Chains A and B, each alone.
Chain A
Amino acid sequence: GAVVSQHPSWVICKSGTSVKIECRSLDFQATTMFWYRQFPKQSLMLMATSNEGSKATYEQGVEKDKFLINHASLTLSTLTVTSAHPEDSSFYICSARGSAGSDEQFFGPGTRLTVL
């Protein structure tokens, strides 16, 4: 089946620094990718939809200047958490849909971000 990877799997950073998380579709081209955030014991919250070659679409309440999304190729989307603060500590998960007609969304393994 289709595989989505994320890098890094975990990261610890100091408050005020920026962190980049990569999401790759390993064996298929993903024209659309999604970014989610999940706090402990809570459900996944959709942050934004990332479309290859165009600007991301952010969900209401998600700061686009804080969570920068770039989808420069059909296999890679990146999420950069800028000026991270402890409240940004969370589990970030990406997912990808294949090209037109694909029904299933494939999820990455997630990235644990801890901001000190």
Chain B
Amino acid sequence: LAKTTQPISMDSYEGQEVNITCSHNNIATNDYITWYQQFPSQGPRFIIQGYKTKVTNEVASLFIPADRKSSTLSLPRVSLSDTAVYYCLVAPSGGYNKLIFGAGTRLAVHP
């Protein structure tokens, strides 16, 4: 399974756009990139998943360059409730593939 590297922590202010970059140099051809959000004492929550280029949903955008060795999660106009740990994971899609969590990025949004 491809290893991921993310910044340990980030700080932002309400209303700003936050971009969290994840490196996954050894990503395999059949791997997808998935981002999860976790609040304290809760299970992770799926945010977004992509394979290449750009994916957008109602809460975030995911940018993946052509070489797929990195990806960037973009959170538009964050609020205090976006304070959480964000995990980037790489794994094959479909089937029953286990997910290996890295250290994640602890995002703190300030008033």
Contact = CB atoms under 8 A, between A and B. Distances in A.
The yes or no verdict on A and B being binding partners is yes
Interface of A: 4, 31-32, 34, 36, 43-46, 49, 51, 91, 93, 95, 97, 100-110, 112
B101 interface: yes
Interface stretch (B16-24, B58-66, B67-75, B87-95): B87-95
Contacts of A112: 41
Contacts of A4: 43
B32 to A, nearest CB: 7
B87 A43 contact: yes
B60 to A, nearest CB: 15
B46 A43 contact: no
B43 A109 contact: yes
B104 A43 contact: yes
Nearest to B87: A43
Contact of B32 (A97, A103, A109): A103
B76 to A, nearest CB: 22
A109 B99 contact: no
Contacts of B29: none
Contact of A49 (B43, B49, B93, B96): B96
B28 interface: no
Contacts of A51: 96
A100 B45 contact: no
Q: Which of A44, A45, A101, A108 is packed against the most chain B CB atoms within 10 Å?
A: A44
B30 interface: no
Nearest to B106: A41
Contacts of B46: 104-106
